[in-house]
Amino acid sequence: MAVSHPAGADRTITGLRVEVTSVALKAPFVTSVRRADAAQIVVVEARDAAGRVGMGEAAVSWRVTGESAESVTAAVAGPLSDVVVGRAPDDRALPEDIAVALWGNASARSAVECAVADLRAAQTGSAVWQLLGARSPSLRTDRTLSAASPRELAEAAVGHCEEGFGVLKIKVRASDDAVAGVREVRAAVGDGVRLRIDANQAWRPDEAVRIIREMERAGVDLEFVEQPVAADDLPGLAAVAAAVETPVMADESVRTAADVRAIAERTSVSLVNLKLAKAGGLTAAERAAEVARDHGIGVIVGCMLEGPVGITAAAGLAAAVAPEVVHDLDGAHWLVDPLLTDRTAAFSADTILLPSAPGDR
């Protein structure tokens, strides 16, 4: 039975708990930055005095977020619990207090804010996506192809299209013949599939311009190129975006609203990829999306190698800030055991269906 606005002490957050699970991947996840064969799924639970539970997830990777399961556990047990415990989830000051509870640790902060928001949803008989203002619980995601040889990329692409994906994102490395790989994929899937590529900072600016222009001449029809150069090289990112016709999207260069503003003022990138684990939570990501909209920059919501708890929160944000976009939220598709529950999103081909309002938890 749905819970309707519980009152008094029953709403108070009594504690935070961290649960860590290692889940094997269906295939190695390979980018220019790292290779992973398993994912650590780090879930934070926020519990209230009535026993209801809200969940958030912290994406961990030393190479990407700079956080680990151990660092998240320490942050949650210490300063984040100090800020959260004893307060109600609908305390309007709570997101800001979580944000300043400790320096860095964006993924840990995000997990706690998402857990608190999920607990608030449980208390009010709603769902997080509804609290965020989304109108529809359904949205679409792309499917990522790990960096590989042209033949392997083409085989993986055909397989994902047969699974029902209409948008593919191809990871490329500096050591790869990226043009050959993308041409092979385009030949294999035909013109009806949208292709994106993600270099994960693999190229120097001059290399990026040369490779992207070669792809343009090859007629592979890319939707965009993601993070072609180093995250801190905004002049290089600006030079690439100005020199090619293909839209450029910033990912690693963008974490917060201030980063989006800097991107807008110093480059001509067309899109930004926002991630909860980078931004530090729902509130910060919403602000970043608002700045992007104000500057005419498109928003795609992305993820790490995350389980369904993390994807559900990110998809709720995506449904609220850019419902018409095909987002980058296929993390759970990589997991051998996706750890799905009736409280997480459901995944059917390229469609993500967010959970309905929760019952009494």
Residues of the chain with CATH 3.30.390.10: 8-125
Lowest mean pLDDT among 5-14, 17-26, 131-140: 5-14
**Contact in structure between 18 and 56 (CB atoms under 8 Å):** no
For 319-359, the pLDDT digits (tens) are: 999 999 999 999 999 999 988 888 899 999 999 999 986 54
Q: Virtual CA dihedral for 151, 173, 331, 165, nearest 10 degrees? A: -40
Does domain 8-125 correspond to CATH entry 3.30.390.10? yes
pLDDT in tens, 180-206: 999 999 999 999 999 999 999 999 999
DSSP, collapsed to helix, strand or coil, labels residue 66 as coil
Q: How far apart are the first and last CA of the chain?
A: 9
Type of residue found at 146 = S
Tell me, what's the pLDDT at 340? 85
Contact present, 291 and 257 (Cβ < 8 Å): yes
Identify the pLDDT of residue 122: 95
Which residue do the tokens 């990110």 mark?
A: 314
Q: Is 275 a catalytic residue?
A: yes
Identify whether the C-beta of residue 234 lies closer than 8 Å to the C-beta of residue 253: yes
**Residue 70 CB contacts under 8 Å (≥ 6 apart), including other chains:** none
Among 26, 169, 171, 278, which one carries the catalytic annotation?
Answer: 171
Phi/psi-derived region of residue 272, left when phi > 0, alpha when psi is between -120 and 50, beta in every other case:
beta
Q: What is the pLDDT of residue 8?
A: 67
What CATH code would you report for 130-353? 3.20.20.120
Note the pLDDT of residue 4: 43
Looking at 26, 169, 275, 278, which residue is catalytic?
275
Is 169 marked active-site?
A: no
pLDDT at 3 over 70: no
pLDDT tens per residue, range 263-295: 999 999 999 999 999 999 999 999 999 999 999
- 209 C-beta neighbours (distance < 10 Å), count: 20
CA distance 77 to 253: 30
The CATH 3.20.20.120 domain(s) of the chain lie at 130-353
Percentage of the chain exceeding pLDDT 90: 92
pTM listed for this prediction: 0.94
